[in-house]
Structure 1
Amino acid sequence: MNKWVTEGLHGDLRTSYGIKKVLFDNQTEHQNLVIYENEIYGRIMALDGVTQVTERDEFIYHEMLAHVPILAHGAVQRVLIIGGGDGGMLEEVLKHKSVEKVTMVEIDRTVIDLSKEHLPMICGNAFEDPRLDLVITDGCQFVENTSEKYDVIIVDSTDPIGPGEVLFTNNFYTRCKACLRKGGVLVTQNGVPFHQASELKSTLRYFRPIFAEATCYMASVPTYVGGAMAFGWGTDQQGLKDISLDVLEARFRRAQIDTGYYTPEVHRAAFALPGYVQRLVA
């Protein structure tokens, strides 16, 4: 490797990836987008210099942000995905035959087009599924204006910089809550709390006044340096995070989906927060 991409998301901490081959490197209408190949992680997409997804471990992130709320809810028919232009989240959601419609709102059409071209191992044929309603617009504007209601809303956003910044505000979360059906669930990407404590604290500070159950759950994704990632969890259905193992196993069997990380046992354990995270969100 004689060329390296160095990411500086966490201040004085730098993470570098060797470049085997650059597939795309240009400015879109909204952000700088790079797709390249790495010997260990396969194909990688970075936006504005920050790694978003890798071929090697995307399944962990996408499975945990999709299957945990869907299987906890148990009767999901309509899903809203905000962001997720690489298509990995869409593919996981569509594995559930009970899902009748998925509305996906992505601000940058170029991300979708290039993912279909260069990252088919992540998105598969998800963008061709007739259950998909693809909307190219700002996610915050969409939830402000839509009259539709959803069982699950998944915010698959970048970090709170650039186009993704508005997706971490009180106004956005309040509008998402208004778009949920009774008993619906909102889940969000909240970074690595070991390095991004303020991101998780801010989200849950906004969640608590509007949801009866506001917390987070976690999963370890090797790409995102600094320990386990946190996913925000908000719902008015008290106890939804504590669904029994027997019920989860039965729902998982009925769903008949193949997973590389998610299991009903992992689902339950993901809500068991380590001490430092408990103190962060207290």
Structure 2
Amino acid sequence: MTTDSWVNETLYAAWGQRFRVVRELAREKSDFQDIMVFESETHGRVMLLDGVVQITEADEFVYQEMLTHVPLLAHGDARRVLIIGAGDGGVLRRVLEHRNVEKAVMVEIDGAVIRLAKQHLPGIAGDAWNDPRAEVIVGDGIDYVRQAEPGSFDVVIVDSTDPIGVGEVLFTEEFYANAARLLSERGLIVNQCGVPFMQADELRETNLRRAKSFADTWAYVAAVPTYVGGYMTLGWAAKDASLRAVPAEEVRRRAQAAGILGRTRYWTPEIHAAAFHLPPYIAENLSP
């Protein structure tokens, strides 16, 4: 909602944030959601879906780097990556920064998000849209996961809205069961699980659903300024528990081999390893 020259984002019924608008760039109602893109005074260009901030040019690197580099480097040899959502292209860009990745399939249900991101947020994805290793599908990620061949991907990255509306189906037991089937022997899946200081139920319930299909479930954290309320959690589910215990020095070696060491603004090998060590108020939501 725009009030005078401000956009107000209501996050938790009685708490939110606001941005001063320099210029409104796009406002569109797609088949799935309301989309708005505007130039802010403090955060560069901003995209909202159904009134909720999804990405800003100023701090997108925090979320995108942690959602991408942590699972790929924890795996250590991820060659086939499936991305669900992430219509702005930022995750696709970071995945393709890994020189060992041979194929990245991105499935985004709302083609309008991709179109508006290309038009108004071109720096988020960079040249990723044209990379020959990328396959971008405008379609239903649930159907894609349901129909994918067993063992066809090494890592799945889910970048979705919260589990309401269009994003709700990406947090179900069926979705995680199908993800486990399409993943290779050491495969893993990560997804955003909200800000646990305000959304503890989301983390707790999602973790219980993941645990029915994966041997190792947990979460790791990132401090994303725009996602207010403290640490944001990124849900983790893997077939091999050792993948979230890779020492920082081994992560560094893998990052060097992948070609991303020194190219990040938030992620480092030390932050990678430390991100799995959770404050008690977060960890208590991950108990069996």
What band does the TM-score fall into relative to the shorter chain? over 0.9
Structure 2 CA distance for aligned equivalents of residues 161 and 230 of structure 1:
17
Equivalences for residues 67-216 of structure 1 within 5 A: 67-147=69-149, 149-216=152-219
Secondary structure in 2 matching 1:197 = helix
1:158 deviates by: 0.8
Residues 86 and 123 of structure 1 are in contact (CA less than 8 Å); yes or no, is this contact kept in structure 2?
Answer: yes
Secondary structure in 2 matching 1:268 = helix
Query: 2:228 aligned with 1:243, yes or no?
Result: no
Equivalent of 1:261 in 245, 248, 266? 266
Residue number in structure 2 paired with 1:276: 281
**TM-score, L = length of structure 1:** 0.98
Structure 1 CA distance for aligned equivalents of residues 285 and 217 of structure 2:
13
Secondary structure in 2 matching 1:194 = helix
Structure 2 CA distance for aligned equivalents of residues 211 and 166 of structure 1:
18
Equivalent of 2:39 in 25, 37, 55? 37
Q: What amino acid sits opposite 1:186 in the alignment?
A: I
Structure 1 CA distance for aligned equivalents of residues 259 and 73 of structure 2:
12
Equivalent of 2:222 in 216, 219, 223? 219
**Once superposed, what is the RMSD of the aligned Cα atoms?**
1.1
Cα displacement string for residues 162-196 of structure 1 (whole angstroms, at most 9, x for unaligned residues): 21111111111111111101101100111111111
Structure 2 CA distance for aligned equivalents of residues 53 and 246 of structure 1:
31
Structure 1 CA distance for aligned equivalents of residues 268 and 16 of structure 2:
33
Secondary structure in 2 matching 1:196 = helix
Q: What amino acid sits opposite 1:63 in the alignment?
A: E
Fraction of identical pairs, as percent = 47
Which 4+ stretches in 1 moved above 2 angstroms?
Answer: none
Please, which moves more after superposition, 265-274 or 4-13? 4-13
Please, which moves more after superposition, 1-10 or 55-64? 1-10
Structure 2 CA distance for aligned equivalents of residues 105 and 252 of structure 1:
26
1:104 deviates by: 0.4
Structure 2 CA distance for aligned equivalents of residues 178 and 4 of structure 1:
46
Please, which moves more after superposition, 173-182 or 5-14? 5-14
Structure 1 CA distance for aligned equivalents of residues 10 and 163 of structure 2:
14
Structure 2 CA distance for aligned equivalents of residues 182 and 7 of structure 1:
42
Structure 1 CA distance for aligned equivalents of residues 36 and 113 of structure 2:
10
1:211 deviates by: 1.1
Unaligned runs of 5+ in 2: none
Structure 2 CA distance for aligned equivalents of residues 260 and 14 of structure 1:
27
Matched residue pairs, number? 282
Structure 1 CA distance for aligned equivalents of residues 248 and 5 of structure 2:
47
Structure 2 CA distance for aligned equivalents of residues 14 and 41 of structure 1:
16
Structure 2 CA distance for aligned equivalents of residues 176 and 164 of structure 1:
16
Please, which moves more after superposition, 272-281 or 82-91? 272-281
Residue number in structure 1 paired with 2:65: 63
Q: What amino acid sits opposite 1:277 in the alignment?
A: I
Secondary structure in 2 matching 1:23 = strand
Secondary structure in 2 matching 1:259 = coil
**TM-score, L = length of structure 2:** 0.96
Residues 107 and 141 of structure 2 are in contact (CA less than 8 Å); yes or no, is this contact kept in structure 1?
Answer: yes
Cα displacement string for residues 90-129 of structure 1 (whole angstroms, at most 9, x for unaligned residues): 0000000100000100001111111111101111111111
Unaligned runs of 5+ in 1: none
1:14 deviates by: 2.1
Please, which moves more after superposition, 63-72 or 245-254? 245-254
Residues 2 and 18 of structure 1 are in contact (CA less than 8 Å); yes or no, is this contact kept in structure 2?
Answer: no
Structure 2 CA distance for aligned equivalents of residues 263 and 269 of structure 1:
10
Q: What amino acid sits opposite 1:274 in the alignment?
A: P
